[in-house]
Amino acid sequence: MSIYEPTGRAREYSPLALNYFKGCDHGCLYCYVPNILGRYDSKYNHSNVINPVDFSKIEQSAKKMRGCEKQILLSFTGDPYCNSEKGETRKILEILNFYEHKVSVLTKNPKKALRDLDLIKSFGNRFKIGSTLTFDNEKDSKEWEKGASMPNQRLTALKKFAENNIITWASFEPVIIPKQSLNLLIEVSDFIDHVKIGKLNNYKGIDKQIDWSRFIFESVKICREKNIKFYIKNDLVIHNKGVYLSGNEINQDFLNL
């Protein structure tokens, strides 16, 4: 339970990360975590959140990494504001703030994160909050992400953070119904600071039926027209056919704190 350097696809989100929940009760059908952790434990049950958080170990790690100046993402093996969370994330934010770290939170429940707005404000520009935006309607969201907050709740909460001068971002990964992702991109354009755009990977053949080059063309067009800073993830960018992308738009570290 220490701050670490992620690798592979996860590295595209942040140079550092901290995982403290094992499991998540958001129940996303496409969740990548059971496949990864199941390799080490055949009985792994992702819906069972195990959270005896070792705060002293986290504090040791935060102290050791003090002054590293690199953004820490919460988190990859679970959602920092899942339904089972009972204040653990606030305590961790207090530790990370004390040691003056830069923190990026990614959650499908930013509404719950508003509980910690006072603390989050005290980070100043060392903090940003993002949410994964997948569907533009409740029906699809309930089918695919049954335990997570609804699309409108995510948008409303992100907007509230932005109104409070907190840096906001959105993760468009996975993209399951491109038209819905494009609708959401337009919806956040008035207030979001930046977006990271990926795709759906290896899920029941659905990803094979999507025209990803067209999706790149349309999403980049919206970002440029609406003046949204963006990063196109490696899995998606290999499908690019002719859309000019600047070095920053394919630089995984460009949008870090």
Q: How far apart are alpha carbons 30 and 143 in whole angstroms? A: 11
For the bound state, the minimum distance from the C-beta of residue 28 to ligand SF4, rounded and expressed in Å, comes to 3
**Binding segment (CB under 6 A) for ligand SF4, from list 9-17, 21-29, 36-44, 119-127:** 21-29
For the bound state, the minimum distance from the C-beta of residue 186 to ligand SF4, rounded and expressed in Å, comes to 24
Residue whose CB is less far from ligand SF4, 49 or 220: 49
Q: Give the residue among 220, 226, 222 at the shortest CA–CA distance from 240.
A: 220
Q: Are 33 and 27 in contact, with CB atoms under 8 Å apart?
A: no
For the bound state, the minimum distance from the C-beta of residue 103 to ligand SF4, rounded and expressed in Å, comes to 18
Q: How far apart are alpha carbons 22 and 173 in whole angstroms? A: 21
Alpha-carbon distance values, 183 to 80, 92, 104, 187, 188 (Å): 26, 34, 24, 6, 9
**Binding segment (CB under 6 A) for ligand SF4, from list 8-16, 25-33, 110-118, 159-167:** 25-33
Q: Binding residue for ligand SF4 (CB under 6 A) from 2, 12, 33, 144?
A: 33
Count of residues of this chain found to bind ligand SF4 when the rule CB under 6 A is applied: 10
For the bound state, the minimum distance from the C-beta of residue 122 to ligand SF4, rounded and expressed in Å, comes to 26
Q: Give the residue among 178, 200, 194, 188 at the shortest CA–CA distance from 229.
A: 194
For the bound state, the minimum distance from the C-beta of residue 2 to ligand SF4, rounded and expressed in Å, comes to 19
Q: How far apart are alpha carbons 41 and 79 in whole angstroms? A: 20
Residue whose CB is less far from ligand SF4, 79 or 249: 79
Q: Interaction with ligand SF4 in 64-93: which residues (CB under 6 A)?
A: 78-79
For the bound state, the minimum distance from the C-beta of residue 26 to ligand SF4, rounded and expressed in Å, comes to 4
Q: Which helix (H) or strand (E) holds 131?
A: strand 127-132
Q: Give the residue among 234, 140, 124, 244 at the shortest CA–CA distance from 183.
A: 140
Q: Interaction with ligand SF4 in 128-157: which residues (CB under 6 A)?
A: 148
Kindly list the residues in this chain that would bind ligand SF4 in the complex (CB under 6 A). 24, 26-28, 31, 33, 78-79, 108, 148
